Structure formats: structure tokens, C-alpha cells
A and B are shown apart, each in its own frame.
Chain A
Amino acid sequence: MTTPMTRAMLEVNELTTRYITRFRESIYAVDHVSLSVGDGKSLGIAGESGCGKSTLALSLIGYYFPPLHYTSGEIIIDGRTITGMDPDEVRKTILGREISYIPQAAMNALNPTQRIIHFIEDVVLAHHPGTPKKEIYERARERFELLGLPASVLQKYPVELSGGMKQRTVIATSVILSPKVLIADEPSSALDVTSQKMVIKMILDLMDKGIIKSLVFITHELPLLYNVTDDIMVMYAGQVVEIGSADEIVFDSVHPYTRALMGSIIVPEKGLRDVKLTAIPGTPPNLKNPPSGCRFADRCKYVRPECRVAPVDLHETASGRVYRCIIPEQELRTLYEHEKR
């Protein structure tokens, strides 16, 4: 892997989680996922809708409630294994303090009848019962000002804030206890470009100012990930298909799926109009009974009969690239060269 050898803040080994539906079917939405985010580093997770990004985000915090169930694997935060801990213990000592999670569309889930400060009080009191309100207010004000948010926001109701402001408030609140790891699931997807930029700037500020140590950022917008995170992990149908540095993934990807994904990027830059976007035909497999071989086989341009025989493992090549495909790196590159001509 390309991450330089710093101390790992978040380390995940072969994590598998599944949904158990009302009809007792298992949906393995996170299937043997391993990843590692170093101190001061950030990891982006990309993939199509329904590939399990949000499920992975939820699984990473180690606190499971139905229909999501832990199956196997381990999660280590700054040297401390949290899988297998008592759920109540995880909620009290890990969530918010060690690792914080901002769910997709969190800003629309704010209770409209509560002032922002009330919301922050709830978070703090859950971990440090008995903290005086005055102290909480002071701390919140300090933190908000540090992040460039006016302190007057604290006394407002969610409806009085614009979308971008609400999202930034949610983020500032969720890191009020300075967790080591922040997991942000599509924090800017519902916003326009200007608000998106402000949200991103704030998240990067959190890293710069040392409020959080590591970041996991989820979105399907690849240009955004490229600009925000150090590494990018691409998921397909619950599995990791490729992982590498942002540059490697965006400009020099190996896996056919990642390639196809990169072919659908739209950015307002010179030359965009000359390329034809590549559309991936077909739909992702149903996770209730995924194909036994490579999960991407049905949509892959370079599919071979061997692809469908046995599950394909994620492997690392001599050059340090990590991807999930039976075709050797060199051969794939030749195929891509042919394509270009």
C-alpha cells in the first residue's frame, strides 16, 4: 500500500457486516474490508450507489443495531480493538471521543425544536455527565470561532440556518470532543458548489488544527475526493476493488471498474469536450446472492471465462498496487493502451 508508514489511527482487518432483513435474508453489504488510515492522513471511499459505502461508514464505528449486524473482522482505533467490546461501553467511551460519524443527510435530521447549543449539550453530557452548561457553552463558542463559525449560531434553531451553515454546524458539533477519527458520509452532496467548498475547507481545517487526527470521507464525486483525501478506496458490491493514493486511482488506475469510473468524471476543464464519457452498461449484482466469481464480471469489457469460476482476491503487485482482478497488471495496461488507439 502507498500510505507512508505512520502510526495507524484507524485499522480495519477483514471486517464483514450484514443486514438481516425482515425475511431473514442476509445482505453482506461490507464483505471482508481491510483498510488503514495513518495519523494525519485521510482516506476517501468511492463507488456507485448501493455499493455499501454508507454501510461501511456505519460499521466502522463499532456500534451495531438491527438490521445491521457484526459478522467478523476487527476494528482498531489508535491501538485499541473495539470489536467485541460491550455495545454500551462503545457508545459511552468510543463514540464521539475516539471516533465520530456524520451520517448521510445528517443536517436534515436535526431536531427543529431545539437550539443548536442544546444539541451540543446533549452530546457533551452523554460523555461527561454533570458538566456545567456554562462550561459547555464556552467550549462550544471557542470551537465554533476557531472553525470560523459565528458564535450566534449556537442560539439559533436549525431552520434559521442555510444548508451549508447547518452542515458545518453538524460537523463542528460532532467533533466537539475532539475524536481521533472522523467519518463523514456524503457531507456535501446536497449542497451547491459554494457551500460545498466551505464545508470541505472546514473539514480540512479540522485536520490542520489537529482537532481530528484522521479522516474517512465518503462520496461518489471523484474530483472532490481527489482534492480532499490522500488515499482513495474504490468499492464495488460490498467489496474493495482497488485502493491507492489519490493520484494513482484517478490518473493511473489498474482495475477495469476504477477505469470505467474515471471515464465518467465531468470537470469544467479544457479538453473535457473532446473525450467521450464511458458509461458502464448493466447494473451492479444483487447483494442477496452475489455471483460466485468476480462480482464485476457481468459488466466488464475484459471479462474471461476464468473470471466467473472462483472468488477473486484483493492482491498487491510487485509495484505496490492493490486491486481485485485476475488479469495481471501489465496485461491490463496493454489492454488500456489498445483501447486508446
Chain B
Amino acid sequence: MNMKSDDIILSGKGVTKIYGFGPNRTVAVDHVDFSFKRGEVISIVGESGSGKTTLAKMLLGLTSLSDGQIYFEGKLRDIRTHRQKREYWKNCQAIFQDPFASFNIFRKIDAVLLDCIRLRHGRRLPDEQKVEMMREACRFVNLKWEELTNKYPFELSGGQQQRLMIARIFLLRPKILLADEPTSMIDACSRATILDMLMDLRSEIGMTPIFITHDIGLAYYVSDTVYIMEHGRFVESGSADDVILRPKEAYTRRLLDDVPKLHEEWDLSTV
């Protein structure tokens, strides 16, 4: 894998999203520039309503840009037709925040995984091979395919569903993974499991994960590069150690101050 420092996998210039018009006009993402290096772990941190999810949807091609351009592997991203979108989604996938809302409750787990195999390999694979692939994916996330087949996603616990989500990514092997608050709906104990799996998956298939989170601790733990987002803009970015341990912006400092810690005093007088 090419790890040259200037190997940019995804970048954007002046990316903007405006919802509504007139008095309802909301600028959710306001002219942000970024360039994500291949193989690095990136985090985008911001408070509720800062535009993180909107940015993620634009990166994924699920919503259009109001302004600006996104470049994928150096070329202007063009996803106007359904065929181009499919091609892009082979390379760029996502994990969403709420596992309970992420699956269609009327479709069985097998169908969800088969969709991924079809997107990546087309329809021509023999059935045994498909089953073998699903088995492998489930093994990777510590689930047993025998126990999942013919079940519905809502029959699993939140943590298991989120693992199933990772199994999906394992099958798809995308170059970019956008994880929008992947652990915020599951409890602290399952969080480590999910993060471990995502990190293992990263080294297994060599993807570039982009974490979108309000949890600055999580961002610090997983990422190489951190972007801090406030009101639709990036206010600070840099290596995780720089941003978290030596924050320059007042906003970043405030975010850090608001998190309860173990070794530092939690100053409650500042609210």
C-alpha cells in the first residue's frame, strides 16, 4: 500500500451545505477544506448540531453539495449517475450511530450481507462461496453465522448489531470508512470491542477510517489526525497529540474542559 505522505485519498475545497431558504436557511457546513491522507485515521469532533453528520452525508454522496468540490483519489468526484454512485460506494462506506435504526427490520441478516457481496463481486458467485464469505465475515466480528442466518437484525443486542455492521464493511472492503458516532449508542463496555474490531479491520483491509464523534476522548484514542468542527467550520486541525494535548483554539480547550477526566480536576465552575 502506498503510504507516501502526499497520497491524498479524499479532499474537499469550500464544501458547503445549506438547508432551506428564507428565514429557515441553515448553513450546516460552511466552506470547509480538508485533505485526508490514505491510511491515516481521521476524526472529526464537534458538538451537537455542528454539522458533522451533514458533512459525512456529503462525503458519502448521500446529499448534494450546495457549494464546493470533493476530490476522490486526486480526481474530481463525479457521482451523477446511479452506476457512478455504485462504483463510488464500493470505495466509500459507512457505519451509523444507532444500530437499531440502521437495519431494515423486515429484511433478514443474510440479505444484508448478500447485498454487500453482490455490490462487490456481482451476481455470479456460486452459493457455497457466498456462504463461506459470510461465515468468514461473521467470524471476524466474533459472531457465529449459524446463529445469525435466518434471523432478523432486531433479534440481536445493540453491540451485536454494530458488529454486524462491521461484518458488512469486512465484506465490502472499501477504501474509506465513515463511522458516524459508531459507539455513542452502546455502553462503555462494548465500546472497546467495537473500536478494537474497527482497528483490526483497518489493518486487515487497509482502509482509511474517518470517525465522526462528539467524544473527544475517543477521537484522541483512535486517530492520527483530528479536525475540530464548530458551527459548520473546522476551527482547528492537526495531529491528535497536538490538538488534544496542546490545543490552540479556545473552543477546543472548552470541549476538553467539559469532559470528566481521571487524573485532572474537573472544573465545574466554568459553566
Contacts and interface: CB of A to CB of B under 8 A. Distances in A.
Q: Do chains A and B touch in the complex (CB under 8 A)?
A: yes
B260 A224 contact: yes
B116 to A, nearest CB: 24
Majority SS of interface residues in chain B?
helix
B198 to A, nearest CB: 12
A192 B217 contact: no
A277 B214 contact: no
B261 A223 contact: yes
A204 interface: yes
A264 B188 contact: yes
A42 to B, nearest CB: 14
Interface string B190-203: 11110110000000
B268 A197 contact: yes
A250 B262 CA distance: 9
Interface in B244-268: 244-245, 254-256, 258-264, 266, 268
Interface in B195-238: 195-196, 214-221
In the complex, which of the residues A163, A193, A264, A280 has the most CB atoms of chain B within 10 Å of its own CB atom?
Answer: A193
Contacts of A197: 258, 268, 271
Interface string A216-241: 00001111101110000000000000
B166 to A, nearest CB: 13
A273 B188 CA distance: 17
A268 B261 contact: yes
B61 interface: no
Interface in B148-192: 157-160, 186-192
B192 A278 contact: yes
Contacts of B255: 193-194
Given A194-B258, A226-B262, A283 B47 contact: no
A260 B192 CA distance: 10
Interface string A176-191: 0000000000000000
Nearest to A257: B189
Interface in A201-222: 201, 204, 220-222
B189 A48 contact: yes
B157 A279 contact: no
A272 B216 CA distance: 12
Interface residues of A, number: 41
A205 to B, nearest CB: 9
B226 to A, nearest CB: 10
B64 interface: no
A281 B47 contact: no
B144 to A, nearest CB: 12
A196 interface: yes
B220 A272 contact: yes
A270 interface: yes
B2 to A, nearest CB: 25
Contacts of A270: 245
A194 B188 contact: no
Interface string A13-56: 00000000000000000000000000000000000111000000
Interface of A: 48-50, 163, 192-194, 196-198, 200-201, 204, 220-224, 226-228, 250-251, 260-261, 263-270, 272-273, 277-281, 283
Given A196-B258, A227-B266, A263-B192, 9 more contacts: A49-B158, A194-B255, A194-B271, A223-B260, A223-B261, A224-B260, A269-B261, A279-B193, A280-B189
Chain A to chain B: the 5 pairs with minimum beta-carbon distance, closest first: A277-B192, A193-B258, A279-B193, A264-B192, A279-B192
28 contacts: A48-B187, A49-B157, A49-B190, A192-B47, A194-B254, A196-B258, A197-B268, A200-B268, A220-B189, A222-B188, A223-B259, A223-B260, A224-B260, A264-B192, A266-B191, A266-B215, A266-B217, A267-B259, A267-B260, A268-B216, A268-B217, A268-B256, A269-B261, A272-B221, A273-B221, A273-B241, A277-B191, A277-B196
